[in-house]
Structure formats: C-alpha cells, structure tokens
Chain A
Amino acid sequence: MRQRSIIAITAALAAGSLTLTACGSRDDDGKSSSGDKTTVVIGVDAPLTGDLSALGLGIKNSADLAAKTANKKEYVKGVEFKIEALDDQAQPSVGQQNAQKFISDKEVLGVVGPLNSSVSQQMQKPFSDAGLTQVSPANTGTELTQGDGWKTGNSVRPFKTFFRTATTDEIQGAFAAEYLFSKAGKKKVYLIDDQKTYGAGLAASFKANFTKLGGQIVGTDHVNPDDRDFNAVVAKIKKTGADALYYGGEYPAAAPLSQQLKDSGQNIPLMGGDGIYSGEFPKLNKKAEGDLATSVGKPVEDLPSAKEFIANYKTAGYKDAYEAYGGLTYDATWAVIEAVKLAVEGNDGKVPAEGRKAVLDAMAKVKFDGVTGTISFDEFGDTTNHMMTAYKVTGGAWTPEYSAAPNVS
C-alpha cells in the first residue's frame, strides 16, 4: 500500500511537471480548413518563455498580425493563412525539435523565426533537407547565410532554404564601431561578449572595424549569459580607463552589467546590438541613461510605411509590445505570404502539390514594400535593406540618434 502511494505521488508529480511544460508550447485554435479555402500554415519559432520572451512574444504577435491581415484582405485567393507558434525557450536543442515538428506537418509551407542565431544554426540543416523555407526576422549571425568563410571574403551560402529580413552582424558591428568612434568620439573601448553565436559574432565584427578606424580595444572578457553579478569584471574594466564598454549579447545580462558598471563609479556608456534594444533594458537598469544600441532598419515609428502596422497592432489588442523585431517579423511573414501568392498564381490559382518547393522557388522573386522598407533577398538570402539605426537611452526610453546604411566591402 505504502509503495503504491509513493509511486502514485511520484507519477503525479512527474505528470504534473510534464503537463505544465507542455502548456507553454500549445496554441489554442485547432481548426484546419474553413469552407473551400486551402489552409497554409506558417510556422513561428521564437522564445515565448524565459528571459527573451518579451522579444519572442512580439515576434509571435507580429507574425499573427501579418497572417490575419492577409486573410482579411484575401491577399491570396483561396488560401487561408494560419500561424502555428512553437516555443524554443532560446535553446538550440528545443529549436531543432520544433523544426522537426514543422517539417512533419505537411500544411506548413514556411517558417518565420527564430530569434537567436544559435537556435537557427540547429534548424537550418533539417529545413534544408526538407526543402522548407525559413525566414528569420532577427538572426544577425553572418555565417548563417555566408558560411564561416565570410571573414576572409569566401562567402558561400550554406543552406538555400534560409532567408532573413534582419541584416548581418558584420554590418551591425561595423555600424556600431563607426558610430562609437566618429559620432560619439570614443577611442578606448572594453569589449565583452556572452560567447553565444550572436554575441561573439557581433563583438568580433565590432573589434575588427573599431581597430581599423584607429580605435583601441583596451581589454576583452567573456561572461556567462545566465549570470547577474558582473562586479568582478567591472572592477577589471576600471583599471583599463576605458571610455566605453561594448557588449555583444542580450538585455537580461546587459542590464545588470550596465548598472554595476555605473555603480562602480565609471560613468561610461554601455553599447550593444539589437539584442539589448528592448524596452525591458531601461526597465531593468536604473542607470541605463546614456547607454547605446544599434538595431536593424530605421525606427519603425518613424517610417511612413509602418504607420499602418502600428495602428493595426494596436487595434488587434495584443497584450505584449511588438518590440524590436515586430516590423521585421511582419515583413518576414509577409515575404512567405508573397511567395505563396506567387506559387499559387503560377499554378492556376491553386496551392501547388509540391507547395514547399514552389514557395522556396518563389522566394528569390519576392519583392515588396514592407514595414521596414523594400524587402527582397540577395544571392545569400540576406535582405537587400542594410539600413541601421543607433539608439540612446534618454529619459528612460530608447530614442533614435542616427540612421545610415553602412557600406560593406
């Protein structure tokens, strides 16, 4: 009897924990097709829980908005778009499982996501094998589209199914270096990254371009992205006399890092990439004033093309903000919708039997005016829109300072 109750309780707890975990990744609506319309599912993969969920939920909602808008406008005749969002928890292994789920669902003709370059690395190969188109709104890791040879000028596209509406870290790092050196007048920079694909790539590009301009990297360090105590590193920065800190990483660690930096009496700005360009950063960091970030595209709020997106997002009543990648996600999702439209038009108004192949073939021809500008893809699957913006925390919120499209040779 006693043995039995032990087993029962253990089983109940195990089952309970499994159910709770599963809850996070399930979506509510389960209908497949309505009337005579064909359902086309667009998969969305993003971190919907955890540290980066603010960015992830913005991605999910923006993709949802794009699908709903296409349905409302009947943008592709006879096709009803549906979003299937999976949570990757910012974990590469979970992302790979999600990729398999999308591949096995025959209604999925394209996938939008993920947020993290390290997650994308694990998803590219399965998608490529399955011929399923993936469009990331946020991955900036240069090697994702150009292979590891990009640093030496030997760019080779590793996976023909991968596209992105975000520009690369090569461009982002170069832009940050240019801004910090020329516009902000900082000459001695301490460099820290979190050793993830995104952070390390960004730091590498920043370092190369900053030293090329004549700036000095006075020290480098790496931190663990789960840490929240950086006082030991901060004490090291102090003795180098750096006049700025560049951080390759994301806001959950960048916020306490910046705060501890200023608490130690060093009144120098922390600069980062789009990973810290989140409304959460100044909320978590009381001393964020003056900190800098770069992000892809022009500020969504300033673009006439984005007015409709912002208004529609508000009307749709999403609980979470669209965050840094809202506009790019909308465009990424719209690129898939556009490709489906081209595929359907090339097949007498019906979704082709080989839907995935037709969508992939159509991606090269996609060109439209999106929220963030004109969207089309080059021979690597990279966006042809290289516009970048530098932001500064002023009055507790990010405000745009300077926009440009850096030239990369």
Chain B
Amino acid sequence: MHELPQQLANGLILGAMYGLIAIGYTMVYGIVQLINFAHGEIFMVGGFGALTVWLILPGGFALGAAIPLMILGGVVVSVAVATAAERFAYRPLRTAPRLAPLITAIGLSIVLQQAVWMWYPDAKKDRPFPQFDGGPIDVLGANIQRGDLFVLIAAPLCMVALGFFVTKTRSGRGMQATAQDPDTAKLMGINTDRIIVMAFAIGAAFAAIAAVAYGLKNGQVGFRMGFLMGLKAFTAAVLGGIGNIYGAMLGGLVLGVAESLATGYIGDIPGMDLFGGGAWKDVWAFALLILVLLFRPQGLLGERVADRA
C-alpha cells in the first residue's frame, strides 16, 4: 500500500484540472440553464493560445517567467472565443427550446476543433508544450512533478478569487440574482446580458488556466484534447451538483481521486483483476457518478439555494 500517497496526489492533480474546467460548465448552467458542450474546446483553444505566446517569445526565455504571459495569452484567446460564442451562437437562441442551443453547442465544438486543425500551424498532430526541467519534489511520500505544482497552486487561488468575486462584489451579487430569477433581476436594474457574458468569460478564463496546467503536465497540446477533458469536467460538474461552483471543484477532485484509486487498487481485489487497471477507470468513474445521482440526484453540493451562481 506504500504507493497510496502517490495515487492520492495523482488523483488530486488530475481532479484539480477537472475542477477548473468544470467551473465553466457549472456557472453557465447556473445562470442560463445551458450545457455548453463547446466548453471543452474553449479549454483546448486556451492551450493553443498559451502555446502561441511561448512560441513567439524569444528563445532562452525562462519558462517560469513566461508562465504569466502564457496564462494571459490562453485567457485572452479562450475568453474571446467564449464571449463570441455567447454573442453569436447562444444569445440568438436564448428564448428557443432548450434543445436548440445544446445542438448549437455540439456544432460549435466541431467547428472549433476543425478550425484549429485547419489553421493552426502544424496542429494536425499533437504539438509539444514547454516543460519545467528538474526532477520531482517529495511531499509526504509522494512525488510531485514541478509542472504539476502549477495546478495545485492555481486551483485553490482561483477558487478563493471566485468566491470573493461572487459574494463581495456588485457584479457577483448581480450574478447570484440573475441565477435565481433572471426576469426579476432585470426588473431590479441588473444588466443580465452583461452578467451572462461575464459567466462565460470567467468559465473560459479558468478553462485556459486548466489548459496551461494540462500542457505543463502532459507536455503536449492537440486539437482533440478538449473532448475527453470536457466530458470528464462535465461529469465533475454534475457530480458536484451542477450550478454550484464549489461543487464543481469538489466533483473534479472526487472524480480524479476515484479514477486514480480505481486504476491502482481495483485490480488487486480478489476476483476483480479483469476489471482493474487504466482502461477501466472511466467505467468506475461513471459508476460512481450513477451511484451519487441515485442517492443524491442534485449532486454532492447541489441545493436549490441562493448561493448557486
């Protein structure tokens, strides 16, 4: 069992990344009840935005110093794409039946994948992403890679900043009000259009940060990377209670740890060796999701209360 700390650390790192992406699903759903299936691709374009910044920086630029610029580049691209999608693909459909924007979202995700495939230089195959040199750091018996430290620091910082924004600022309170009842919020003088754009933008910014984490962790970005990560993040959002921002992070962490432990240990249970291992981890993750939804249909933290945003 001595690799337990390692498996937990692996799960937390993966989960923090899922959580950061899941926030985008959850905020948009909380406010306009739209499952933005193109969010995985917004994550993907963020990765390419960050990579572009790295490629145009002069050679010999230290990665540590480049990271803030890369985050900025990723955030700018993701937010631009997400707000444009909101304006041109979702806003015209806001009063349409729920199914219409969902289909548009799926179409949009294909458009974004193909656009990167066609126009980003050399994106027909996975592109290498810069990585930190140096070995892992030992934390309580677990090896943490230098690149993985990024997400472990970024995820809690993002959560604290978002929590502050939603509860302490005027815009954040406007967001809560819009989530509760958009029509009444509008009557109270809240510019709901602006609030919705803001929800898309914050979700996209977090997705871009997650994309930088993904690049640093796996050493590559590719035009298809948004699909699987988007699906996992959506699962995390549902697991945590869709519409709840803390739930999204918790759902991500639970999902990441569950995948890690399932890979590590299910095969060791007598009689289960057929169902253990890396290829089965998604099965166990979804089994967990079904189990949670059976006993808590609203998700782990999902409640119909005012703090969902």
Contact = CB atoms under 8 A, between A and B. Distances in A.
Interface of A: 2, 5-6, 9-10, 13-14, 16-17, 20-21, 23-24, 48-54, 57, 192, 194-195, 220-224, 226-233, 235-236, 238-239, 252, 255-256, 259, 263-265, 280, 283-286
Given A227-B228, A228-B220, A265-B136, A6 B125 contact: no
14 contacts: A9-B93, A10-B93, A23-B114, A54-B124, A221-B279, A223-B278, A226-B224, A228-B220, A229-B14, A232-B11, A232-B260, A232-B264, A235-B7, A235-B10
Contact of A49 (B2, B111, B117, B278): B117
A264 B220 contact: no
B125 A280 contact: yes
A5 B218 CA distance: 43
Given A239-B2, A239-B3, A255-B220, A231 B260 contact: yes
Contacts of B227: 226
A232 B279 contact: no
Nearest to B229: A228
Contact of A51 (B107, B222, B261): B222
Contacts of B6: 231, 235, 238, 264
Interface string B115-126: 101100000111
A10 B228 CA distance: 25
A183 B251 CA distance: 48
Interface stretch (B96-104, B181-189, B198-206, B290-298): B96-104
A156 B115 CA distance: 46
B89 A13 contact: yes
B143 A265 contact: yes
B59 interface: no
Interface residues of B, number: 57
A220 B273 CA distance: 10
Contacts of A236: 3, 263-264
Contacts of A10: 93, 100, 103-104, 107
Contacts of A49: 117, 124
Contacts of B2: 239
Q: A-side binding surface: helix, strand, loop or mixed? A: helix
A21 B117 CA distance: 10
A312 B104 CA distance: 47
A396 to B, nearest CB: 12
B107 A13 contact: yes
A54 to B, nearest CB: 5
Nearest to B261: A232
Contact of A284 (B126, B217, B277): B126
Contact of B278 (A230, A256, A286): A230
B225 interface: yes
A231 to B, nearest CB: 4
B86 interface: no
A362 to B, nearest CB: 36
Contact of A5 (B92, B115, B118, B125): B92
A233 B263 contact: yes
A382 to B, nearest CB: 30
A146 B100 CA distance: 50
Given A227-B278, A228-B225, A256-B220, A20 B263 contact: no
A200 to B, nearest CB: 11
B282 interface: yes
B107 A14 contact: yes
Q: B-side binding surface: helix, strand, loop or mixed? A: helix
Given A17-B111, A20-B118, A232 B89 contact: no
A264 B143 CA distance: 7
Contacts of A230: 278
Given A9-B93, A13-B104, A264-B136, A21 B263 contact: no
B278 A51 contact: no
A50 B225 CA distance: 11
Contacts of A259: 219
Given A6-B92, A10-B107, A221-B263, 16 more contacts: A10-B93, A16-B111, A24-B118, A192-B278, A221-B279, A222-B280, A223-B278, A228-B218, A228-B220, A231-B260, A232-B263, A232-B281, A235-B10, A236-B263, A255-B220, A256-B219
B168 to A, nearest CB: 35
A229 B107 CA distance: 27
Interface in B7-39: 7, 10-11, 13-14
A280 B122 CA distance: 12
B118 A232 contact: no
Given A53-B125, A228-B225, A9 B10 contact: no
A252 B92 contact: no
Contacts of B107: 10, 13-14, 16-17
Interface in B201-235: 214, 217-220, 222, 224-225, 227-228
B110 interface: yes
A400 to B, nearest CB: 24
Given A9-B89, A13-B107, A280 B217 contact: no
B110 A21 contact: yes
Contacts of A20: 110-111, 114-115, 118
Nearest to A285: B219
Contact of B3 (A220, A221, A222, A235): A235
A96 to B, nearest CB: 21
A17 B114 contact: yes
A6 B220 contact: no
A195 B92 contact: no
B108 interface: yes
B171 interface: no
B208 to A, nearest CB: 18
B278 A233 contact: yes
Given A228-B225, A232-B11, A263-B145, A221 B278 contact: yes
